[in-house]
């Protein structure tokens, strides 16, 4: 299976010259709910389960803090349309002036495994657009989180004049609270690939890597995160190397966008110049102008 990355001409040249991919902060993608969809699903379950309003408010605050601490960098690909889908050209490849790069799934899996062996945390996953799947996945985490609430994670009765029963010790309450927060982080990690079903046409896959907020953890190496300008934003990203494999090509195919007038031979020469000797080159069949 080939997975296609639609990009501008500048990004195509950058991938070749740097022999690397940029995994950009997904929260700054074109989906404003990216990274927040899990909270949307989780909040709906909390309301259905009729939690105490104070508990719901506390959980909401904990989820927000987890989201500010843990984000994701991603390199987005698509299996749709064999790399020649008009909506993808319009949305991600400079309105059809760019390039679609075909990477084999086999190579990307090799890359992730190789990077993990040198402690670079990159994974490949398909995006999940199924709302029933979202609910099932988040519900499992909700039950674990709810158990910590029931054990007293939000029990501050020792500070109240109206105590009902024996209040938890500060140490025990803190332990339950920390366990609850770790469970929320676990949910965020497990559900990083769920997305609004309105985007299902894209059939997205992505390489992902965790982004930790240095404000929340001073031990994080800030040099791992780089920054690039975009039209209306500055985007954090992490650069990962394209490691060579003896068994599979890094780039299998390149499709030239429907509005891109670059001759095929120029693209072929560029690819050969950077060692991608077996990548095929073709033009988009879309009659878009």
Count CA within 13 A, CB hemisphere, residue 117.
7
Name the domain count of the chain.
1
pLDDT at 159 over 70: no
Residue whose C-alpha is closest to residue 192's, from 178, 175, 204 = 204
Distance separating alpha carbons of residues 71 and 213, to the nearest angstrom: 8
- Residue 289 located in a structural domain: no
- Residue 43 located in a structural domain: yes
- Residue 288 located in a structural domain: no
Indicate the DSSP class of residue 92: H
pLDDT at 207 over 50: yes
- Residue 119 located in a structural domain: yes
The packing angle between helices 170-190 and 53-69, to 10°, is: 60
- Residue 231 located in a structural domain: yes
Predicted confidence (pLDDT) per residue in 87-138, tens digit:
999 999 999 999 999 999 999 999 999 999 999 999 999 999 999 999 999 9
Q: Which domain holds residue 112?
A: 2-283
pLDDT at 227 over 50: yes
Q: What is the separation of C-alpha 119 from the centre of its chain, rounded to a whole number of angstroms? A: 18
- Residue 74 located in a structural domain: yes
- Residue 199 located in a structural domain: yes
Cα angle, residue 272 at apex, residues 271 and 278 outer, rounded to 5°: 85
Read off the pTM: 0.89
Residue that wins the pLDDT comparison between 158 and 58: 58
- Residue 63 located in a structural domain: yes
């Amino acid at each position: 299976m080939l997975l296609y990355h639609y990009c501008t001409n500048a990004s195509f040249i950058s991938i070749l010259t740097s022999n690397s991919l940029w995994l950009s902060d997904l929260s700054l993608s074109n989906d404003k709910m990216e990274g927040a969809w899990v909270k949307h699903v989780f909040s709906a379950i909390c309301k259905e389960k009729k939690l105490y309003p104070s508990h719901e408010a506390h959980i909401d605050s904990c989820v927000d803090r987890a989201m500010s601490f843990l984000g994701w960098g991603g390199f987005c690909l698509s299996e749709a349309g064999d790399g020649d889908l008009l909506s993808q050209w319009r949305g991600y490849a400079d309105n059809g002036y760019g390039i679609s790069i075909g990477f084999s799934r086999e190579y990307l899996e090799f890359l992730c495994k190789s990077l993990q062996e040198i402690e670079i945390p990159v994974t490949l996953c398909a995006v999940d657009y199924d709302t029933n799947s979202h609910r099932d996945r988040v519900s499992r985490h909700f039950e674990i989180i709810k158990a910590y609430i029931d054990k007293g994670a939000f029990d501050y009765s020792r500070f109240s004049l109206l105590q009902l029963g024996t209040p938890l010790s500060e140490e025990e309450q803190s332990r339950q609270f920390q366990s609850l927060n770790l469970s929320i982080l676990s949910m965020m990690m497990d559900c990083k690939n769920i997305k609004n079903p309105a985007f299902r046409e894209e059939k997205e896959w992505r390489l992902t890597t965790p982004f930790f907020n240095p404000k929340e953890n001073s031990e994080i190496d800030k040099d791992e995160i780089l920054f690039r300008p975009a039209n209306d934003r500055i985007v954090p990203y992490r650069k990962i190397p394209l490691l060579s494999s003896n068994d599979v090509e890094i780039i299998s195919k390149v499709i030239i966008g429907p509005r891109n007038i670059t001759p095929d031979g120029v693209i072929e020469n560029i690819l050969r110049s950077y060692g991608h000797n077996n990548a095929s080159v073709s033009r988009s069949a879309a009659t878009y102008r």
